[in-house]
Structure 1
Amino acid sequence: MAALTAALISTPLGAKDAKEPSIPSEDDAPIAYLIDAASGQVLYQRDVDRRFMPASITKVMTTFLAFEWMEEGRLFPQQVYGVRPETFKQWHRKGSTMFLPADARVTVDDLLHGITTVSANDGAVVLAEGAAGTVEDWVAAMNAKAREIGMTNSHYGTPNGWMDEGKTFVTARDLGTLARAMVTRHPSKYRHFVGAKGLKYNGIEQRNHDPISGVVPGADGIKTGFTNQAGYGFLGSAKRNGRRLIMVVAASPTGRARNRAARSFIEWGFKSFDSRTLFANKARIASARVQQGGAAQVGLTARGPVRISVPKGQSPKVSLTLRYEGPLQAPIAKGEEVAELVVSIDGMPEHRVPLVAREEVLKATPVQRVFNALRSWVT
């Protein structure tokens, strides 16, 4: 790995005066994770790679997989599924439910609202069976999707998080990856399906037990969970003034402690950081050496603006390091991910930004190879 330290930024950033809010206590939230949704920057982390049983937070992956299949044209909101007799027998009134009747003909739209709003165990199974044919095939697709988006330390055994002898486990870091993929890939679907205050279905009204929606300004989800072994957990998100934060609190001893931690944590995130732009959209951030190419270097840029969060009331030093396997080998496609920018902010976790090629670099022609060789002798 070639590490090229670039003096792109090494000056302190300015800060505004602000009172420092408190972080949730370790007693209330033994596992705690807070990230900026747009950049993926970690604002706070505590025991984020510890595995735990997510219980109903499992349904976030079921929801995300449904969003992905909708985008691919494999699933449609107005598709109608029936309830299999064996499914009704097993899941009727079992845990959280949307009270699907035995003869139900229910749309995907209603099933997803049941899953996201009232944590419907029955709805998750009916959706899995209808969309994939069997629960087993749906769960296999959940795990494949988890691997695809970079959830490296999680596994799913059910579509709804019902107890399965520990086959289903996640980490806070992986849940942050999942939530970020959901809100950035599918913002319109997220707005439509997540964060409703309640659900009326089959003549029964139920409310959403999300601890921050309607309480914390800008909050809109995402999912609570509880098991006796793992305690109380919550994967949540809120957006204010164009900025979205995602948080995980887990292993809380009581629901009250979990709710207190969640509300405190998300407020702390919004009140304790300022957002700064390091590079505008499409800006040339750096360049990397290229071997056997028609050009000796390729420009590097990010896929969007590069922003960071810095603590209010402080002036942290920010330094940048460019890293890539170098020299790069031609050909290189425009937009191909070839490097990363490591952002180091005093007192905060390291932040990495993928960088892509700003232009295409083809393999060198015979004449270009001669000139490249001559250039290497004199430089």
Structure 2
Amino acid sequence: MATPADPAMVPPEVAAVPVALLVDLGSGQVLYAKEPDRRFVPASITKVMTLYVAFELLSRGQLRPDQVFRMSEGAYRQWHAVGSTMFIDRDHPVTVHDLLMGIANVSANDGCVVLAEGAAGSVPNWLALMNAEARRLGMKDSHFGTPNGWMDEGQTFVSAHDLAVLAQAMITRHPDLYHAYIGHPTMTWNGITQRNHDPILGKLEGADGIKTGFTNQAGYGFLGSAERQSRRLVMVIGGAYTPKDRAGAAEALMNWGFAAFDSRTLFPAGAVVGTAQVQDGEARSLPLVASGAISAASPRGTRAPVQLRIVYDGPLEAPVRKGDIVAQLEITVGGQAPHRVPLAAGADVPRAGLLARLRNGVLGLFT
């Protein structure tokens, strides 16, 4: 069922696709939804989770962009020049940086497998990381049976809602890596230049990614994002019958989202939104900061009232690292259903020593 803010304003191109979702990232508000929880086959959109896992490992220092991997004999036999590819040869050295560029921009099936084997030791180990991240993000209607989205008899599936959650996590947790690797119009490796097939990149103002997908089983899908005047929208198209349907729906839905809604900033990126209590830490509380700009969207020409509530499972357990997503800001705009955006820890809180824990325990008796 479609749930637009104003049905009369929704572009007709959306009717041509079975699944569609448009989310305002700054507020978490759903601007348009058509079958957002319906499970579907993502094809190469699967690679967004492979990229996200790699970004997580890079941020933890468990992976380096200059790290070099080689294609195993087994991976070569199964994946050399199969589908979208970087044409990696056996034992050809390739850096993590180049693998990520190839996966993100030319949908390299072989690159996904080389990365999985090199970073995790095997494809099954990598899949375990993908599914663990999906569970951590709350992607309840998703499962990954392959690192690249190749047909696997339905083991890999997602929902539009879950893909929007994944896109939000990638953009808010790893903005520098997102901009470094996502949305390049071409990619050249080993003397071969290939084009990015993103249907709105370079055609729609502010578009900068994220990933297309296609197999005969899945149809044509797209997880896309665009930013205009510090306002970012994320959009999902699933199961389109033709690439023209996918491109038309994506462009029309994005342009409608920017044109039909006004957005006002509630907190700039990095602003302190509130505090959270911490247990067994050197400090008894920490500031909660906006991972990105937090805003509220209303149909153009209106200014609906906004209610805010901080939500977290607390007290937080030390140690907590600055930048960790530890809470959410629940935003209710007018009579709409509430939506949530992530809040990050604004400071490191190491685990307290014995004396500090005793001090905090005594202080707790009086608060």
TM-score where L is the length of structure 1: 0.78
Q: What are the equivalent positions in structure 2 for 1:138-217 lying under 5 Å apart?
A: 138-217=126-205
Tell me the CA shift for residue 350 of structure 1. 3.2
Tell me the CA shift for residue 319 of structure 1. 5.2
Tell me the CA shift for residue 282 of structure 1. 3.3
* SS at 2:16 equivalent: coil
2:256 paired with 1:268: yes
2:117 paired with 1:100: no
Matched to 2:240, the amino acid is S
* SS at 1:215 equivalent: coil
Matched to 2:241, the amino acid is P
2:332 paired with 1:343: yes
Q: What are the equivalent positions in structure 2 for 1:1-379 lying under 5 Å apart?
A: 22-278=10-266, 281-282=271-272, 303-304=289-290, 306-313=294-301, 315=302, 317-318=304-305, 320=307, 341-346=330-335, 348-352=336-340, 368=366
Distance 1:301 1:277, change over 3 A: farther
Matched to 1:87, the amino acid is A
* SS at 1:27 equivalent: helix
Tell me the CA shift for residue 367 of structure 1. 8.1
Q: Is the 8 A contact 2:27 2:297 kept in 1?
A: no
For 1:16, the equivalent position in structure 2 comes to: none
Distance 1:40 1:301, change over 3 A: farther
Distance 1:363 1:306, change over 3 A: farther
Separation in structure 1 between the aligned mates of residue 205 and residue 303 of structure 2, nearest angstrom:
28
Deviations 1:245-293 (A, max 9, x none): 11101111111100111111111111111112346743669x9xxxxxx
Separation in structure 2 between the aligned mates of residue 324 and residue 194 of structure 1, nearest angstrom:
31
Q: Is the 8 A contact 1:35 1:42 kept in 2?
A: yes
Distance 1:320 1:158, change over 3 A: same
Distance 1:352 1:85, change over 3 A: closer
Distance 1:81 1:332, change over 3 A: closer
Tell me the CA shift for residue 364 of structure 1. 7.5
The structure having more radius of gyration, on CA atoms, is 1
Q: Is the 8 A contact 2:26 2:341 kept in 1?
A: no
Q: Is the 8 A contact 2:23 2:32 kept in 1?
A: yes
* SS at 1:309 equivalent: strand
Q: Is the 8 A contact 2:288 2:327 kept in 1?
A: no
Distance 1:302 1:71, change over 3 A: closer
Deviations 1:221-240 (A, max 9, x none): 11001132332110011111
TM-score where L is the length of structure 2: 0.80
Identity across the alignment (%): 49
Q: Is the 8 A contact 1:333 1:357 kept in 2?
A: no
Matched to 1:93, the amino acid is A
Q: Is the 8 A contact 2:298 2:304 kept in 1?
A: no
Tell me the CA shift for residue 357 of structure 1. 11
Distance 1:318 1:30, change over 3 A: farther
Q: Is the 8 A contact 1:330 1:363 kept in 2?
A: no
* SS at 1:51 equivalent: coil
Separation in structure 1 between the aligned mates of residue 344 and residue 173 of structure 2, nearest angstrom:
19
* SS at 1:90 equivalent: helix
Q: Is the 8 A contact 2:310 2:327 kept in 1?
A: no
* SS at 1:307 equivalent: strand
Answer 1 or 2: higher relative contact order, Cα 8 Å, separation at least 6: 1
Separation in structure 1 between the aligned mates of residue 341 and residue 228 of structure 2, nearest angstrom:
23
